Structure 1
């Protein structure tokens, strides 16, 4: 895989989720990938693709707000989204990228945002 800046890898991975482009996501997510969120405790790549990846259909929209390096191999990404229920949220993720692929993602759920 050609090397691209870690922030680009993280951005492209989230974009593949939004588009539900699993083939693109599989290229960006390492076989050793580990995913953690308030609902998932260090699940592996297979569990991530089974449980988490297919959930984009619950969204009305999602927009990336910020993607910044976090030192070393880390990247912070902040995004806002609205569920089909009308609830809006803002989350932050810390991802680790090595050799052009995500090896770990930790999701930090934010609270509800006011409706626009």
Structure 2
């Protein structure tokens, strides 16, 4: 995968929202880990089984800020609405190395 870490992250968000698993899979390294307040260092297989298929709950999602912290880490702040009417804002620290997402750390924010 070529492209800047920011472009890789933007593509991953697009593929998540459209639920295009086949397009998303090559963006993630085999040793990928995902951590959130609900998941502790789960691997690629668990992420795609448990977390990736959840986009149907969202009515909308928009990236508010996407900032490169260094040559590998990208911070993304995004806002989303759920079908029940609730809105939330989260931040993710995403490590992209050699064009592949290696790690995602999600920090849940409050309601909007």
**What TM-score does the superposition give when structure 1 sets the normalisation length?**
0.94
**1:16-70, CA deviations, whole angstroms, 9 ceiling, x for partnerless residues?**
1011010111011111100000000000000000000000011111111111101
1:74 corresponds to: 73
Separation in 1, partners of 2:63, 2:45: 25
Q: Provide the aligned C-alpha RMSD in A.
A: 0.7
1:106 corresponds to: 105
2:9 corresponds to: 10
Kindly tell me the number of residue pairs found equivalent between the two proteins: 112
Separation in 1, partners of 2:22, 2:45: 14
SS class of match (1:110): strand
Verify: 1:23 aligned to 2:22, yes or no: yes
1:36 corresponds to: 35
Identify the range of structure 1 (57-66 vs 42-51) with the bigger mean alpha-carbon deviation: 57-66
**1:90-112, CA deviations, whole angstroms, 9 ceiling, x for partnerless residues?**
11000000111100000000000
Separation in 1, partners of 2:74, 2:67: 6
Gaps of 5+ in 2: none
Runs of 4+, deviation exceeding 2 Å: none
Contact kept? 2:29, 2:100, Cα under 8 Å: yes
SS class of match (1:71): coil
